[in-house]
Chain A
């Protein structure tokens, strides 16, 4: 079984925001929520770098460890999902997440405890694959169609990689060896507890 991961090569991201747009369009993500965002560090200064941030589907996910109603679960592919029927919108996962992934709807009064929303790795949710209920709550289930997350598929510079962790780590290693530098696997160690050794 594959262990699905994201790798953001910050040395390649050109801040085009195609990943953000692709995600929002593919899943019809509501107003006020972006499951993925691009953060630019040292904007306009030497050393400027951008990183595409979303749920990294951590190996030992902090969000799951703090959820008081245990609404998170990890699939056989290593994708961290949550059950919106169980989520009470307490917000604690947003404090625990190292990537700022959990989002909350802004249309309604938050006091009514809107459900948390986050990247699903295009893997839907606990409902039946490709059901209307799954689409409405979580968006498309591309993984069940044998496809990878659209954000990574759309990335024009292949800064954002998605797929089995061993395979994308190998791609990144080859890349670093070829170009002769590399410090861009942003968040890899935080998410997966290991470094990409080159």
Chain B
């Protein structure tokens, strides 16, 4: 009995310390609560995690393209937003979202939750206010350029930073309460105790008062900072080279630096003494918020190199972010291409193809694959979710087909 208890404890400890793996490609958005976390990525999936067990509780798909922002609404409900401009509220159970907003012409670039209000910022500078209960949405212009970050303040007002190098505060009706200029391009916004933490493209992390006054600032990097997370004691920031910093509040005294080397970290989330960090690598790493030590233990992988040095391998690199060559690996944005030659279009099991592709009669041969990239998916397979990539050089198309015949037989 005692051995079983010790075993169960060890298992739980091991699971609790694990990194979160499941996205098939870069992870763009993260949020964490006491026992759950939610993430979104370039594979178009939104995953609700049991962060104590490091297991997926729910995998949701709604958005066309990248999932750009997520938020937790309690332990069982979560929000997602994407490149398609849609925002959705999900529950742990149920096939469909509780509500979702219509597609917009602009992607969602920021998302935050305050009480029963959701705020979303768009790449074109608008802000949407959404009622959490009903999904009813109102929009108002806010910035000239991307809304880079949003946060509700304790008084109920909404703080925003944008590509027009401005910090703004809005009331619940979308009326501008205050506006100040920022010294550089902001790349996020997080509540940091009584202040707001903003990472800047020039590599600086700054604290702002709710009135927009610049408090302490610290230059962390020569590279742009692209992610931030904070709580009352700690602020974390990450740069495009993947370096992560932990700093004390309110002084911004550096506490720890976690070296990069595996590509950009696009999203951070702080929960208690754990920092979740995710980006190009696709793994949600679990770090100590105290000293930056890796808790998850997943080895840092460098970018995967092509398996040979042919021109075909170079051309394939542009496909590899969306397609795997492993049999049955449909975790990425597109299906596995293992065995694609000789297969009818949209016929492989386990991937949710668009109806347009399912209705087509194409069989993938060296000739049809070459034609696909000569004319582009928009013309050759209209209705496909595939980006309109083309390979203009016939020799490159031939090299790609030869590569596929070698590695995706």
Contacts and interface: CB of A to CB of B under 8 A. Distances in A.
A and B, one complex? yes
B66 A86 contact: no
Contacts, number: 131
B123 A104 contact: yes
B105 A98 contact: no
B146 interface: yes
Contacts of A108: 105
A65 B241 contact: yes
B264 A113 contact: no
A95 B83 CA distance: 13
A97 B317 CA distance: 22
A113 B387 contact: yes
Contact of B387 (A42, A43, A88, A96): A88
Given A62-B223, A96-B226, A111-B103, A106 B64 contact: no
Nearest to B202: A190
A65 B222 CA distance: 14
Interface in A75-105: 85-92, 94-100, 104
Contact of B240 (A65, A89, A107, A109): A65
Contacts of B68: 91
Interface string A113-142: 101000000000001000000000000000
A38 to B, nearest CB: 10
Interface stretch (B10-18, B286-294, B389-397): B389-397
A68 B105 contact: no
Contact of B181 (A41, A100, A109): A41
Contacts of B390: 85
Given A65-B240, A90-B42, A109-B64, 19 more contacts: A37-B145, A41-B183, A68-B25, A68-B26, A69-B317, A87-B387, A88-B321, A88-B389, A90-B65, A91-B66, A91-B107, A92-B264, A94-B146, A100-B146, A100-B185, A104-B107, A113-B65, A113-B388, A127-B392
28 contacts: A39-B144, A41-B181, A62-B223, A62-B240, A66-B263, A66-B264, A68-B42, A68-B280, A69-B321, A87-B389, A89-B65, A90-B65, A90-B66, A90-B321, A96-B226, A96-B264, A97-B201, A98-B184, A100-B145, A109-B64, A109-B103, A110-B65, A111-B65, A111-B103, A113-B83, A113-B387, A113-B388, A193-B222
Question: What 7 A-B pairs are tightest by C-beta distance, nearest first?
Answer: A111-B64, A98-B201, A111-B84, A88-B387, A68-B321, A113-B387, A69-B318
Interface of B: 25-26, 28, 42, 63-66, 68, 82-85, 103, 105-107, 123-124, 144-146, 163-165, 181-185, 187, 201-203, 222-224, 226, 240-241, 263-264, 266, 280, 317-318, 321-322, 376, 378, 385, 387-392
